[in-house]
């Protein structure tokens, strides 16, 4: 029989990348964490972590066990929710979302959900996909409104097979420039047209994405400002600090003095969707996903 506490410790080690950091989160000593992992390895007859001076990493067996640990945690959380619903008659629903997608789609979708299921107790958590998608897999949230660019979903360590991804919309990024800029009147632009321009960006992942595209276009972008808010980034463009790369759904509200120009295909796109636990049928979640699809429909591809 595999000890559930040892699985919990392994999951913390995988998430935090070292025994010391896992110990701090679990309020254990690093020695206790190491002993729990060693005991798990003895019970399995296989090594679950590879130890080095740079920390620890999961072996293939460790990845399998972290996936099992997350499944166990999710099932226990789901069972606890079901028991609570039996005693209170109310359904708890926790929704995670990133800022711009939540602002655009979530309020109206939640209104529709509450009309259909008025005894639902809602909780909303804001966060980036790399933080919220693991929470779905662990059962800490029921649904995450999230996005990814041209790579895989940022689900963190462990297998992603427990997640079901429902696409909602394609959200292309646009160049935002001052209206008096020499390129502002163009119908579309190549990123290579912008090689000499300074940039102000509203998201660290957008910066990483821009750098990848710029490398293909043959230049190294000059980044003069980074923020965590697209509206603030556009405000800095209006102040003359540079130009920006902004997703379509983050272009509202308008800021006077700015122009928006599409990027020629193939341009950068955010893929927005909903992540849930695979194979779990909950009427409240189904209603919310349907409502989010309705909210996304007018914006798809714009």
Average pLDDT, consecutive stretches of 10 residues, N- to C-terminus, the chain (302 residues) = 82 84 86 88 87 81 82 71 65 92 95 93 93 87 91 62 87 94 94 93 84 87 92 95 94 94 86 88 90 92 58
pLDDT the model gives residue 189? 93
pLDDT the model gives residue 17? 82
pLDDT the model gives residue 86? 61
Query: How many Cα atoms sit within 13 Å of 180 on the Cβ side?
Result: 4
Q: Which residues contact 231 (CB under 8 A, 6 or more apart)?
A: 202, 250, 253, 255
CATH numeric code, 68-169+270-299: 3.40.190.10
Distance (Å, whole) CA 295 – CA 147? 16
Distance (Å, whole) CA 15 – CA 1? 24
pLDDT the model gives residue 198? 96
Long-range CB contacts (< 8 A, 24+ apart) of 28-37?
A: 33/9, 36/5, 36/6, 36/9, 36/10, 37/6, 37/9, 37/10, 37/13
Model pTM above 0.85: no
Distance (Å, whole) CA 64 – CA 41? 13
- What is the tens place of the pLDDT at every residue in 143-184? 999 999 876 677 665 555 578 999 999 999 999 999 999 999
Contact present, 12 and 158 (Cβ < 8 Å): no
Query: 4-67 with 68-169+270-299: one CATH topology?
Result: no
pLDDT the model gives residue 140? 85
pLDDT the model gives residue 195? 92
CATH top class, domain 172-268? alpha beta
DSSP helix/strand/coil, 16: helix
pLDDT the model gives residue 87? 64
Distance (Å, whole) CA 165 – CA 227? 28
Extents of the domains making up the chain: 4-67, 68-169+270-299, 172-268
Q: Are strands 143-148 and 269-277 parallel, antiparallel or unpaired?
A: antiparallel
pLDDT the model gives residue 170? 93
CATH numeric code, 4-67: 1.10.10.10
């Amino acid at each position: 029989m595999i000890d559930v506490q040892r699985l919990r410790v392994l999951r913390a080690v995988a998430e935090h990348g070292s025994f010391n950091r896992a110990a701090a989160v679990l309020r254990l000593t690093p020695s206790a964490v190491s002993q729990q992992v060693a005991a798990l390895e003895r019970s399995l007859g296989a090594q679950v972590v590879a130890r080095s001076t740079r920390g620890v990493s999961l072996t293939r067996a460790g990845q399998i066990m972290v996936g099992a640990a997350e499944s166990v945690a999710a099932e226990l959380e789901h069972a606890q929710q079901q028991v609570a619903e039996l005693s209170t008659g109310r359904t708890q629903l926790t929704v995670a979302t990133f800022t711009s997608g939540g602002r655009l789609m979530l309020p109206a979708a939640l209104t529709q959900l509450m009309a259909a299921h008025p005894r639902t107790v809602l909780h909303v958590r804001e966060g980036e996909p790399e933080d919220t998608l693991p929470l779905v897999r662990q059962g800490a949230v029921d649904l995450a409104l999230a996005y990814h660019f041209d790579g895989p979903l940022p689900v963190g360590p462990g297998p992603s097979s427990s997640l079901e991804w429902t696409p909602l919309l394609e959200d292309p990024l646009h160049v935002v420039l001052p209206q008096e800029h020499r390129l502002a009147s163009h119908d579309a632009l190549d990123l290579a047209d912008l090689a000499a321009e300074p940039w102000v960006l509203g998201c660290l992942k957008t910066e990483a994405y821009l750098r990848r595209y710029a490398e293909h276009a043959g230049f190294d972008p000059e980044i003069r400002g980074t923020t965590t808010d697209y509206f603030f980034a556009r405000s800095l463009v209006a102040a003359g600090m540079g130009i920006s790369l902004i997703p379509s759904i983050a272009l509202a509200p308008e800021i006077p003095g700015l122009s928006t120009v599409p990027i020629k295909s193939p341009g950068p796109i955010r893929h927005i969707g909903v992540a849930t636990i695979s194979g779990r049928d909950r009427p409240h979640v189904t209603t919310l996903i349907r409502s989010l699809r309705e909210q996304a429909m007018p914006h798809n591809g714009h």
